[in-house]
Structure 1
Amino acid sequence: MSRVDFIPLSAKMSPEECAAPVTGSSLKDKSVLITGAASGLGAAIALAYAEKGAYVTLADINEKLGNEYTRKLQAKGLHVQFITTDVTSWTSQVAAFKAGIKFSPSHDTLDIVVASAGVAGDPFIAADEPPVTLENDPPAPNMVALKVNSIGLFYTAKLSQLYLKMPSSAPSPDPPCLILVVSLVAYLDFPAMASYTSSKYAARGLFRSIRPLFADRGIRVNAIAPWIVETPLVAELLKLFAAVGAPAGDPGQVVTAAMRFADDKTINGRAFAIGPKRILDLCDDVEGGDGGTVMQGFHQTELRGWDKYSAEIAGLMGL
């Protein structure tokens, strides 16, 4: 395999480097596709990119919210479009990628993909779960979190590998990039949300697996692992966090990280933890102990008492 496009993995970054602002000037006229962009973090990232002059395609299954948000951004003179997308469907995502390419100023390129689609799912054990008998079969568990957060993300990553390197009549001098929105629950235990947590471990595993493959093909890939922040996805869960005094994160820090990954061409293969207090390089590689060293400190400084909070939240959920 030719390594002519090879992009080396970048070195560990300090908290100050992680949070350093960027101009976002390189985003002007870039073609961007963001999944899960009708609300929440995907919507916030879409706004930030569009304000820098990017042509942003919002892909989301919620057609009503997607169209409303698109009209709102278009009213500001921003270059955005919406396409209804079910990320668990390969053909639906293919259509979204094609729409993003056609929306670009050159009409034949895609520069940045942000995989932000996600759902919370159900607890592994329900509070009102009836006992099983040999006469009544138990209902199948709700698999939506694994389908959206794992399978849907896998589809997005595979299509990014294909379409981000599609030949263009006016190729950008900047390497294309994929940004995966993972979650900090992929680095700690949260039994109350087992389906969501396991799906995000799969997302983290995907990031670790494709990181060298994308580097060999000239595509930067980085991951954002937010702590819980205020979004429609976790509105009810946030109430439980507040009830036990557990801290929430800052969605603005997620946008800061997304802007940094998109604009800074030197960053490749890094995973950033977002909040509750600051942005940290997780050092999710062999040199960094696969994130273990940073997370050990995280529990001591950023999230002291998480085991107690987690148990209290589970108790409120009747688990």
Structure 2
Amino acid sequence: MKDKVVIITGAASGIGEAAALLFGKEGAKVVVSDINTQTGEEVVKRIQKAGGTASFFKADVASAAENKSLVDYAVKTYGKLDIAVNNAGIGGEANKISEMSLEGWHRVIDINMHSVFYGMKYQIEAMLKHGHGSIVNIASILGSVGFEGSAGYVAAKHAVVGMTKTAAMEYSSQGIRINAVGPGFIDTPLLDQLDDEIKKHLVSLHPIGRLGRSNEVAELILWLGSDKASFATGSYYPIDGGYLAR
């Protein structure tokens, strides 16, 4: 990762934060992006304190223009873009389809699905200029199965997997690898709103007997971003404690 330039969205907490810290530790120049400036800048400080290179750029991934500005910032600041991790996302409204608000549906689709298209559009444009790159889209186990009460989230994550495969078919021959990661339920701030009984139920869905940890997912993201994964493209990699094996 020495001198590789990486953008990570949703990098102020959870999987994005763990990935940013790991990429920084391995020598990458990390653009930490999030809508939360305070916690995002704290992640930057932690990377710098450990001897790494990082900077913060505030961006709302639901905006095409802000995705473009993020890529432009990375290229202007560090001269290129080698790796992008499209991680930002929300759980969204929890309701059955007939009871889901239109506002809730559009919000989760904008943040979890449209953002990945916007991100890849501008990231690929930048990567094509120097003929190589790696994009890692963070999907979910719910990119391949359903989950009651989460139609918007499930739809968006299925779309992320499909976009990943299509983009890989379009650009792998031009040196840009594109893959998706499918985490199981990870113990991140996204789950803080759940009560203990629901968390226990989620744990029971994973044969490994626990929720995942952000750093475990970050290790997979790092590998996919690196040259060690040079033949890996167009694939979907679950990391789920056995969830999908049930």
Q: If the length of structure 2 is used for normalisation, what is the TM-score? A: 0.88
Cα deviation, 1:238-285, whole Å, max 9, x if unaligned, reads 74131563332233331221121122123222211102159xxxxxxx
Flag structure 2 segments of 5+ consecutive residues without an equivalent.
none
The answer on 1:62 being equivalent to 2:36 is yes
| Native 8 Å contact 2:32 2:43 kept in 1 | no
Letter in 2 for 1:124: N
Q: Secondary structure at the match of 1:58?
A: strand
Distance of 1:144 and 1:238 partners within structure 2:
24
User: Counterparts of 1:1-319 in structure 2 under 5 Å?
Assistant: 27-104=1-78, 107=79, 109-125=80-96, 140-142=102-104, 143-167=106-130, 175-237=132-194, 239=196, 240-243=198-201, 245-247=204-206, 248-263=211-226, 264=228, 265-277=230-242, 295=244, 298-299=245-246
Distance of 2:128 and 2:42 partners within structure 1:
32
Q: Secondary structure at the match of 2:179?
A: strand
Superposed CA RMSD: 2.3
Distance of 2:114 and 2:8 partners within structure 1:
16
| Native 8 Å contact 1:55 1:103 kept in 2 | no
Letter in 2 for 1:91: A
| Native 8 Å contact 2:184 2:241 kept in 1 | yes
Cα deviation, 1:108-162, whole Å, max 9, x if unaligned, reads x110011111111002339xx6xxxxxxxx9643122110111111101111210
Distance of 1:140 and 1:275 partners within structure 2:
30
Of structures 1 and 2, the one with the larger relative CO (CA 8 A, separation 6+) is 1
Letter in 2 for 1:250: R
| Native 8 Å contact 1:31 1:103 kept in 2 | no
Letter in 1 for 2:81: L
Q: 1:238 to 1:249 in 2, by over 3 A?
A: farther
Cα deviation, 1:162-190, whole Å, max 9, x if unaligned, reads 011124xxx8xxx3111111111111120
Letter in 2 for 1:219: I
Q: Percent identity?
A: 27
Q: CA deviation at 1:76?
A: 2.2
Q: CA deviation at 1:227?
A: 0.4
Distance of 2:110 and 2:182 partners within structure 1:
19
| Native 8 Å contact 1:58 1:66 kept in 2 | yes
Count matched residues. 237
Distance of 1:124 and 1:270 partners within structure 2:
30
Q: If the length of structure 1 is used for normalisation, what is the TM-score? A: 0.69
Q: CA deviation at 1:237?
A: 4.0
Q: 1:238 to 1:153 in 2, by over 3 A?
A: farther
Cα deviation, 1:268-313, whole Å, max 9, x if unaligned, reads 22211102159xxxxxxxxxxxxxxxx5xx12xxxxxxxxxxxxxx
